[in-house]
Chains A and B, each alone.
Chain A
Amino acid sequence: MITKFQIAYKNLLRKKSRTALTLIGIMLSSWVLVSLLGFNRGYEAALNRDIDNMGYQVMVMAKGCPYEAATLMLQGGKGLRYIETSMLADIVKEPEVDKTTLILMQAFFDPNKGDDGGIAGYFGVEAATFPAMKPFLRFYQGAWFTDDSAQEAVMGFEAAELEQRVVGDMIMVPEVDVPLKVVGILERTGSQDDGTIFVPLKTLQTIAGIDKVTTIGIKVKKDADITKLENKLYQLPDVQVVSFSQVKQTIMKLISTARLMVLSIAIVAIIIAMVGVINTILMSVLERKQEIGILKTMGAMPGDIFRLVWTETLLLCGAGGVAGVVFAFFFAGVTDVLVRRILPYAPGGGLVLIDFKMSLFTLGIIIVVGLMSGLYPAWQAGRIRPLESIRSDS
């Protein structure tokens, strides 16, 4: 006994190269679509992770552009503005504030970094308050410095790996040639901390010749109203208050163009795949006009023929969709590298996160779109009259 499913499957094997090309088209569109969905989810998750790894939810900085503030916060940079440390006294008075820490960001040009030199980011942090803000940081070697004036440094994992440093080594701060002893190397976090060199606050202030800071990090009490705190902090003179929800929004806006571009590619890929499916199935129907006529002579109703042709579409789209999802899953790393090249800012960790639910959702979209593409050819096949097909042959 043969089933309609087996008939449909064997029909697709008749023109193997045409079926294979259509499958590749569907697979590519499925790959692009699931990767896009994975990117949307992965990017936001990576950004949240980076932000969580900051250890604090609100930052107070000198007044300026919020975009610049966001960049400074996550990547460091030159052309920094400073605030007085005395401002801390006003901040800690607020009932929403749980913990605070003073941070001085400094960037020095290192001629030995990369081929043409590069910026080395140094974070001046308080030994008493900063580690408490980030209790999740683990040490690969050594520990935090204990004295705010010590000539010591703690290196992020990648910074140490790049310079091949171990605890006990001496490093020189570029431009100013001040030696610092490496007392700790952090474990990899997948965040910006991996590329940072932490120095005691007072030491960095002395090196830079500044008695101010760039940032005051604020950890807000659990269930406290962050917006209310932000409004109160704005009353302080010449400050820019950056909350992480703002930062997230700003960065998401920055990458929205890239997301739109990828979405457009996905839509175009789906349309091309749809046209491919229509073409393949319609060609197959026209080529089998006599056979379809004979099936009707034997007792197949128009609905039977419609379902037969629709099953072929379902098989094509199902196989192509599954192949695309599997490819996207196994090549998420490659997609990650490609996406990083076109993004203005990419957080640490995986940017493309694909899970089972998302794969199923993509497969659903591909199959629904495929079945819609199969409607016209299936309808045409259902309308073939047996006599006309036999007559056209003779």
Chain B
Amino acid sequence: MNIENVVLKASELTRVYRRGSEEISALAGVSLQIEKGEFVSFMGPSGSGKTTLINLLGCLDNPSSGNLELVGRNIFGGGAKVGEKDLTRIRREVFGYIFQNFYLIPTLTVQENVALPLAFYKKPGVEGEVERLLRMLGMEHRMNHLPGQISGGEMQRVAIARALVNRPDILMADEPTGNLDTKRTGEIGEILQDLNRNSGLTIVMVTHNPELARLAGRSIEMRDGLAYEN
């Protein structure tokens, strides 16, 4: 592994949740490195800690202990909690996210949904990115439609375009095909694979679907809050 190419390095990440007096360990000390341009999938049964891990890797949550380095920058080192504002700053610089439930705004058109992140933060040089992404994902003919007027597969394409509009370093995908049929799952898988191969986009994906996991170049199995390289 080329150390200069590492974009994401987790060291002994743990996450403990409290429910009353009970402590639940969702992540029991995960260490891993992801290189620039890798397509990594996390698989495992429910409760194995894969979503907890992707939330920590994607700076959506603070770990209970451990460290995370992002593009050589120390994020969670020293046990100090990172505030929501700082996490937001990191997220908008580095990550794009897609989720199982798409989370498109129903009152905004496809084009407006894709442009939504730019209303809050706009990286230099992203002008024309909305149209380019919609064209690339075959959605230009639907740009004035509302989410309620398009299919589930199309909704996830729109969500992918929205995640990529600010040209992130890493795309985090949490069960991206969880709500789609086999045909649409295949289409979304192909899109992710193309983005990784042709654009060199780093993708970190959680999935239950072994077919989809096979498309990733690297697969990690999650069991009892620990990560096992396949």
Contacts and interface: CB of A to CB of B under 8 A. Distances in A.
Given A294-B103, A297-B97, A299-B120, A2 B108 contact: yes
Given A11-B107, A387-B55, A298 B162 contact: yes
A98 interface: no
B208 interface: no
B116 interface: yes
Given A4-B119, A386-B60, A302 B103 contact: no
B131 to A, nearest CB: 11
Given A2-B108, A298-B92, A390 B99 contact: yes
B190 interface: no
A176 interface: no
A284 to B, nearest CB: 12
A305 to B, nearest CB: 9
A298 B99 CA distance: 12
Given A295-B120, A298-B117, A301-B85, A14 B106 contact: yes
A291 B105 contact: yes
Contacts of A1: 115, 118-119, 130
B112 A6 contact: yes
Interface in B122-161: 130
Contacts, number: 73
Contact of B119 (A2, A14, A290, A385): A2
B119 A302 contact: no
B48 interface: no
A1 to B, nearest CB: 6
Contacts of A300: 88, 120-121
Interface string A280-306: 000000000011001111111110100
B31 interface: no
A301 B92 CA distance: 10
Interface in B45-104: 51, 55, 60-61, 84-85, 88, 91-92, 97, 99-101, 103
Given A7-B119, A295-B120, A394-B51, 6 more contacts: A10-B105, A14-B106, A298-B97, A299-B92, A299-B166, A301-B120
B97 A13 contact: no
A13 B162 CA distance: 22
Contacts of B60: 297, 386-387, 390
A204 B7 CA distance: 108
Interface in A22-47: none
Contacts of B118: 1-2
A393 interface: yes
A3 interface: yes
Contacts of A385: 84
Interface of B: 51, 55, 60-61, 84-85, 88, 91-92, 97, 99-101, 103, 105-108, 112, 115-121, 130, 162, 166
Contacts of B61: 387
A7 B101 contact: no
Given A291-B105, A387-B55, A301 B119 contact: no
A2 B101 contact: no
A298 B115 CA distance: 11
A86 B99 CA distance: 101
Interface in A160-206: none
Contacts of B162: 298
A81 B25 CA distance: 98
Interface residues of A, number: 28
Contacts of B91: 297-299
Interface string A60-100: 00000000000000000000000000000000000000000
Contacts of A393: 101
A10 B107 contact: yes
Nearest to B178: A394
A2 B115 contact: yes
A390 B51 CA distance: 11
Contacts of A3: 119
B116 A7 contact: yes
A226 B126 CA distance: 78
Interface in A206-251: none
Contacts of B166: 299
A135 B117 CA distance: 73
Contacts of B112: 2, 6
19 contacts: A1-B115, A1-B118, A1-B119, A2-B108, A2-B115, A2-B119, A7-B108, A11-B107, A14-B107, A291-B103, A296-B84, A297-B91, A297-B97, A298-B92, A298-B117, A300-B120, A300-B121, A390-B99, A393-B101
Interface in A341-394: 385-387, 390, 393-394
B14 to A, nearest CB: 16
Contacts of A291: 103, 105
Contacts of A14: 106-107
Given A3-B119, A295-B116, A301 B55 contact: no
Nearest to A390: B99
Contacts of A290: 101, 103
User: Residue among A3, A13, A291, A386 with the most chain B CB within 10 A?
Assistant: A386
Nearest to A290: B103
Contacts of A4: 119-120
Contacts of B120: 4, 295, 298-301, 304
Contacts of A7: 105, 108, 116, 119
A302 B84 contact: yes
Interface string A298-339: 111110100000000000000000000000000000000000
B207 to A, nearest CB: 15
User: Residue among B92, B115, B162 with the most chain A CB within 10 A?
Assistant: B92
Contacts of B103: 290-291, 294
Nearest to B117: A298
